[in-house]
Amino acid sequence: DIPIFRRMQLLQLYLQDDKEVNNQLLVEQIWKELQSYEEWYLGDLTLLVGILPYVSMESVLTLTDQILATLKRYESYVNIK
């Protein structure tokens, strides 16, 4: 299941905080996957928030418009759980 796999990746990132090389490889893998999507969903944004501290500023700046457009779509989102 893709959402479970993504959460596992994010958890690995948090648990390996002291292993910078492993973190960078994991972030690059996640970032490469996210960059390939034409449209992001809420789960993608959650994953993005987790890896942003590890992504270069240049990479984030190139996708700022896409990030903002996705956030705008969810501005009236209400979690009904």
Q: Per-residue pLDDT tens for 9-66? A: 777 776 765 666 667 777 888 888 888 888 888 888 888 888 888 888 888 888 888 8
In a domain, 79, yes or no: no
Q: Is 31 exposed, middle or buried (0-12, 13-18, 19+ CB in 10 A)?
A: buried
Cα gap 33→17, rounded to integer Å? 21
pTM above 0.85, yes or no: no
Residue 81 lies in a domain: no
62 found inside a domain: yes
pLDDT at 68 over 80: yes
Structural domain harbouring 65: 2-73
pLDDT at 1 over 70: no
Looking at the structure of the chain, the number of domains it has is 1
